[in-house]
Chains A and B, each alone.
Chain A
C-alpha cells in the first residue's frame, strides 16, 4: 500500500480552520497526518505508520488482536501507557497533537462498548459533551434534541441508558461523540458487539456522518466488512508477527511490511 500523497489545503472546508500562528499550518494539509509515527515497547518496534487521512475519509487499520491496534488508538487519543515510547508527529488540521493533553485534542472516541455514563440520562450524556461555548440551558438542550433527532432517537432525552438496546446505545454513543464537534474520529471496533443487520445500519450511519461533517477518521478493526464499509484506504499492521519474532530486527522488518 502506497503512502497517500498529501493533497493541498484546497480540500479543507471553511469550518476546518487550522490553528493560527503556527508556522507549519499553511504547509501541511487538512486532515489527520501521521508523520513518521513509530511506537516501540522495550526497544522493539510494534508498529510504524506514515499516512495522511483526508477530511471526510476513513483510514482502516486492520490486524489481529495483539497487533498493536489498541496501542495506536491510545497513542492518537493521548492515553499511551508510559511503558511505550512513540516517535513521530500527529498533525490534525496542521495542529501538532503529540504534546497535547487528551482534552485539548478534540479527537472523538468510539469504543466497542457504548460506555454511556450510567449515572446520567441519555440527554445528560449528550449535555456533558456539548461544547462549553454553547451557553444557556435552552440552547444546550436544543442542541441535544437536534442531535438525538439526527441519529433517529427523538424523544429519548430522559431515557435511562441502561434501558437501551445495543443499537440504540451505539447511536447515543455516536451522538455524544459528534455533539462535541470533534475534528477527527477514532473508532475502536465500535460495530463488533452489534448483530449483522444492526451492524450494517450503524456503520452506514457513522460513515455518513463522517463524510457529512468532512472530518478524518481512523477505524481500528479486524472485521473486513467494517473495512469495506469505511470506503477508504486500508493498512494492515502485522504486530502479531512482531510479537512472535524474537529479535528487534525481525520485528522491525515485520512492521516495515505494514507500510
Chain B
C-alpha cells in the first residue's frame, strides 16, 4: 500500500508528459483522425524538412541552449570562487529573491528596453554626443539570437546561484578552503578545485533543466529572439496556431525534432561536463596554486554583475516607460510623467491578473501538498538516521523532474489534443492542473533537501511524548521548516505566474493571464503598455517572495533558533 503511494505522486506528475508525447508522436506520423489523418506516413516530416530556414532554426535552438547554460554555470562558479564568504556574496544572497521574482517575459522586456537602438544604453551614448536618431542596428532580434541568449542568461544565472547557495554547505566550503589555502592555493583556485565539484554534483539537475528550458524557450524568444527564421520552438507554436490545420501535422513532427534538439543539447552539455572535469584534474595535477588572482576576481564579478544589473535596470526602464508621457529619442528621462498608461491598462489587466493569481495559488498549494506527501512517504519508507539523510530514489526523482527536462513544446501540444478529445473545456481548474506539472518539480527541488535534512530525533521525541504522526507533522516538522516551506511555496507561485506556453495552449485563449497578455504585446511595440504589464507580471511573484521572507520572522516570534537557515 505504502509502496504504491510512493509511486502515485511521481506517476501523476509524469503522466501528462507521457500523454502529451503520445499525442505528438501519432500526428507526427500522420495519424490524427480529427483532421483527416487516418494513415501512418512520413509526410509531416517531409514537409517539415522542406520548411524554409529550418536548419537555421534548429541551430538557434541548439546554440541558445548550450551557450545560455554554459555561460550561466560558469558565471555562477566564477562568482562563488571569487566571492564566497565575502560581503559581495552576502549582498548577492539578499538581492536574489527580487531577481528570482522577475518572470522571464518581464526580464526579457526590461533587457530589450535597455539594449534596443532607442533604448537606455543608446541614449546614454547619444545624449552627450548629440546624436538625434537611434542607430540603425538590429540589436533586439539579431539573427544570431545573441539578445535572446543574453535575456535567458540574465534570468537563469540568479536561479543557478540560488540552487548553488543551497548546495554550498554540504560541500563543506570553510574547511576545504582553509585547507587549500594552507597548501598555498589562491582563493579562486582553492574554490574551483576543492569546493565547486561538490556543489556542481548537487546542482546538476537544475543545470540540465536550464539547458532543456533554454533550448525550447518560447516567450523570451518571441521578445528578444530573431524572427526570420525564429528558433524552432517559436516556429512550432506558429504552425500549431496556423489557420491551415494541416500544418498541425508539421507542428507535431517539429515537436519531435525539438525533443531531439533538446536531447542533443543535454548530451553535448554532459560531454562538456566531462571535458571540464578532465581539465580540472589536469590543473590539480600541475600543482599550480595561482596564489595571486586579484585581477581574475574583478573579471569574475562580470557575468553575475551584468545579469543582475540588466534585470534591475530593466525593471527601472519598464517603470519609467509605464509612467512616461512624451519621451523623445536622445532624452535620458521622459519630459513628463503621468498615470495615463496605468489608467488605461489597469482595467484591462485586472481580469488576467486575477486569473494569474488564482491559478498560481491553486497550483502552488496543490504542489506543496503533493510534494509533502511524496517526501513524507519516502522518509517513512527509509528511516533516516542522523547524518545519513534520505533521498528520493533516482527513478522517482526522474519522474518528478521529467517535466523540467522534456521541453514544454514537445508534449504540451499533444496534451492539448488529448484534453480536447476528452471533451474538457478550458477552466481555471484545468489550467491549474497543467501548471501543477511544472510547479511541483520546482517545489520538490526547493523542499527536498531541507525536508530530509531535519534531525529525525525531533520527531522521535514528539512520538515518545505520545503524539501521533499527524500532530508531529503539523506541530513539529512543518513549524521548524516554516522558512523552507514558504520559500518552496513562493518558488512554486512564481513558476506558475511565469508560465507562458502551457497557459497559451491549455487556456486556448479563453483564460488570458498577465503573462500571455504581456508576451502578446511584444508584437505591438507599445512601450508604455508593455512597461505596465511587465511590472504587473513582476508584482505577484515579488509579493510572494516578500511574504515568504517576512512571514517566518512573524510566525516564529523572533526566536533565535529559527533564524538559522
A residues near B, CB below 8 A? 70, 74, 77-82, 101-109, 111, 113, 115-121, 128-129, 131-132, 160-163, 176-177, 180, 182
Contact = CB atoms under 8 A, between A and B. Distances in A.
A160 B557 CA distance: 10
A129 B480 contact: no
Secondary structure at the B interface, as helix, strand, loop or mixed, is helix
Contacts of A116: 561
14 contacts: A70-B385, A78-B463, A79-B456, A81-B385, A103-B466, A103-B467, A109-B461, A119-B480, A119-B482, A120-B479, A131-B466, A162-B560, A162-B561, A180-B464
Given A81-B385, A115-B461, A106 B559 contact: no
Contacts of B461: 109, 111, 115, 176
Nearest to A111: B457
A128 B464 contact: no
Interface in B370-410: 382-383, 385
A15 to B, nearest CB: 17
Contacts of A106: 466
Nearest to A185: B464
A121 B559 CA distance: 8
B460 A77 contact: yes
B476 interface: yes
A117 B458 contact: yes
A81 B466 CA distance: 20
B144 interface: no
A230 B565 CA distance: 38
A116 B455 CA distance: 12
Contacts of B562: 118-119, 162
B482 to A, nearest CB: 7
Contacts of B479: 117, 119-120
A121 B479 CA distance: 13
A123 to B, nearest CB: 13
Nearest to A181: B466
A111 B458 CA distance: 10
Contacts of B464: 77, 102-103, 105, 107-109, 177, 180, 182
A146 to B, nearest CB: 17
Contacts of B467: 103, 128
Interface string B396-439: 00000000000000000000000000000000000000000000
Interface residues of B, number: 27
A240 B482 CA distance: 40
Given A117-B480, A118-B480, A119-B479, A163 B560 contact: yes
Nearest to A130: B465
Contacts of B457: 109, 111, 113, 115
Contacts of A182: 464
B12 to A, nearest CB: 26
Contacts of A79: 383, 456, 460, 463
Contacts, number: 87
Given A81-B382, A129-B465, A176-B465, 15 more contacts: A70-B385, A101-B463, A103-B467, A109-B464, A115-B455, A115-B461, A117-B476, A117-B479, A118-B559, A119-B561, A120-B479, A121-B559, A131-B466, A162-B562, A182-B464
Interface centre among B463, B464, B556, B562 (most CB of A within 10 A): B464
Nearest to A132: B466
A74 to B, nearest CB: 8
A161 B464 CA distance: 20
A129 B464 CA distance: 9
B462 interface: yes
A131 B458 CA distance: 18
Contacts of B482: 119
A109 B463 CA distance: 10
B475 interface: yes
A74 B463 CA distance: 12
Given A108-B464, A109-B464, A115 B458 contact: yes
Nearest to B559: A160
A77 B277 CA distance: 46
Contact of A128 (B383, B465, B468): B465
A115 B558 CA distance: 18
Contacts of A163: 560
A181 to B, nearest CB: 9
Contacts of A102: 460, 463-464
A107 B466 CA distance: 9
Nearest to B456: A79
Contacts of A161: 559, 561
Interface centre among A103, A104, A115, A129 (most CB of B within 10 A): A103
Nearest to B563: A162
A80 to B, nearest CB: 8
A62 B112 CA distance: 70
A78 B460 CA distance: 9
A250 to B, nearest CB: 25
Contacts of A108: 464-465
Contacts of A77: 460, 464
Given A79-B460, A102-B460, A118 B561 contact: yes
A173 B466 CA distance: 16
Nearest to B460: A79
Nearest to B558: A160
Interface string B300-338: 000000000000000000000000000000000000000
A121 B465 CA distance: 17
A103 B468 contact: yes
A103 B463 contact: yes
Contacts of A111: 457, 461
A106 B559 CA distance: 30
A163 to B, nearest CB: 6
B326 to A, nearest CB: 55
Contacts of B455: 113, 115
A75 to B, nearest CB: 12
Nearest to B564: A118
A111 B457 CA distance: 8
Interface in B446-477: 455-458, 460-468, 475-476
